[in-house]
Amino acid sequence: MDDRTLTEMPLDELWVLHQSVATILASRLEAEKSRLEDRLRLLHGDAARNLPERLSRRPYPAVLPKFRNPAEPHQTWSGRGKRPHWVTELLDAGGSIQDFQINDTRPSPR
């Protein structure tokens, strides 16, 4: 069908043609979607069989705090990650990181 045939076609016939093309297109898209979903399920099943048994992270021990804010003792820091604001402020004021270190008073293992 060429453009001239479509431009000369009456509006009612064009509308019927449009509806039939839309119906055919919708059914083909649905069939293609179903085919791709089946393929994805198949691939996902293969991938799931090839994964290791244990996917969860191993448990890490709790990290004890190493530094304490002398002005507000409830504020502590383990020394890991980004420095808290209170540490940065105290260091900028001229303090040393050792000034905020928590002394370990736990008994040593025997």
pLDDT tens-digit map of 12-36: 999 999 999 999 999 999 999 999 9
- Which H or E run contains 37? helix 11-50
Residues 33 and 67 grouped into a single domain:
no
Residues 64 and 102 grouped into a single domain:
yes
Q: How many domains does the chain have?
A: 2
Position 40 scores a pLDDT of: 87
Closest residue by Cα to residue 72 from 90, 59, 55: 90
Position 60 scores a pLDDT of: 84
pTM, two decimals, is 0.42
Residues 71 and 102 grouped into a single domain:
yes
Residue 110 has pLDDT above 60, yes or no: no
Asked if 1 and 13 touch (Cβ cutoff 8 Å), the reply is no
Digit-coded pLDDT (tens) for 71-102: 999 999 999 999 999 999 999 999 899 988 98
Task: State both tokens at 35.
Answer: 């085919």
